[in-house]
Amino acid sequence: SMQQLLLIFKALSEETRLRILRLLEKEELCVCDITESLNMTQPNISFHLGMLKEAGLIKDRKDGRWMHYSLNTSDVFIRFLLLGVFERIKDKSAKEIKRKEKC
pLDDT at 25 over 70: yes
- The whole model's pTM is what? 0.85
Report the 10 Å Cβ neighbour count for 92: 7
40 dihedral zone (left: phi>0; alpha: psi -120 to 50; beta) = beta
Across the strands, what pairs with 60?
A: 69
How does residue 39 score in pLDDT terms, banded at 50, 70 and 90?
very high
Q: Using alpha carbons only, give the angle 80, 56, 2 rounded to the nearest 5 degrees.
A: 85
**Is residue 48 within 8 Å of residue 17, measured between CB atoms?**
yes
pLDDT at 96 over 70: no
Whole-angstrom distance between the N-terminal and C-terminal Cα of the chain? 36
